[in-house]
Amino acid sequence: MPYEQSASPFLKKKKPPAPSKKKSKGYYNEANKTGTGAAAGGGMSEKGVKKYKRDNPGSKLQTAVTKDPKKLKKGSKAWKRRKSFCARSKGWKSERGRAARRRWNC
């Protein structure tokens, strides 16, 4: 009986190509160099968030906190979300990143 060679456990299988990292235009606002709040663009619109939730059931995605920071109650959920977003987006230097930070009043 001849010895059968089995596939080596060290051979790696080819991975399928990664999905595109390009953002879908259906979800995002266009970045606007001038303008603040919703006029800044640079993020998802309410319509875009709803479309994303339809496409990805169970998603907990929310729209930007665009309310004036002075009108947010300190310690509230919206205040914490805004503070967290502004802290982690400090390094965003692209046009869209700057527009998103303007929209969130960072």
Residues 45-101: pLDDT tens digits?
888 889 889 888 898 989 889 899 999 999 999 999 999 999 999 999 988 889 889
pLDDT of residue 31: 75
Half-sphere exposure of 43 (CA within 13 A, CB side): 25
pLDDT of residue 28: 75
- Looking up tokens 């060679």 gives 5
Q: Cβ of 81: how many Cβ atoms within 10 Å?
A: 15
| Residue whose C-alpha is closest to residue 27's, from 65, 67, 61 | 61
Domain positions in the chain: 28-58+71-106
Compute the distance between CA of residue 81 and CA of residue 104 in angstroms, rounded to an integer. 10
Do you know the residue count of the chain? Answer: 106
